[in-house]
Amino acid sequence: MVINCPYCGPRSSQEFRYRGDATRQRPDTTVATAEEVADHLYLRDNPCGEHREHWFHAMGCRSWLVVVRDTLTHAIASVAPARTAAVADSRAETVA
C-alpha cells in the first residue's frame, strides 16, 4: 500500500505507523461514567468500507496524517495533515 504524504510524496506504508480511528471523540471525564471511559479506552469498531484513520510518518517527515482508506480494498481516497483535518472538522461543527 502506498500513502501519498502531503510533505514527502508517495511512500510505502512501511514508513508509517497506524494509530487508529480518527473519528473517535474522548468522553468528558467530568461527566462520563467509568463504563463510558473504559469503552473509549478498550473497545474498538472494526468498520467495513471507507474509514478515517490516524497514521504517523515515522520514517519520513514525522507528521501525523488523517488517511481516508477503504478497509476492504486498502484503496486510499485522501490524505491530509492531521492539523488541517482537525481545523476543518471544528469549522464544520461550528456551522452545523
Helices and strands counted in the chain (H then E)? 2, 6
86 pLDDT more than 80: no
CB contact at 8 A, 41 and 26: no
94 pLDDT more than 50: no
* Whether pTM exceeds 0.85: no
Q: Which three cell numbers stand for residue 54?
A: 490516524
- Between the alpha carbon of residue 6 and those of residues 1, 12, 19, the distances in Å are 16, 14, 18
CB contact at 8 A, 77 and 68: yes
From the list 25, 26, 19, 23, the residue with the least C-alpha distance to 65 is: 19
Neighbours of 92 (CB within 10 A): 9
* Res 70: pLDDT: 96
92 pLDDT more than 60: no
User: pLDDT tens for residues 4-57?
Assistant: 999 999 999 999 999 989 988 889 989 999 999 999 889 888 889 999 999 999
All structural domains of the chain: 2-23+50-95 (3.30.2270.10)
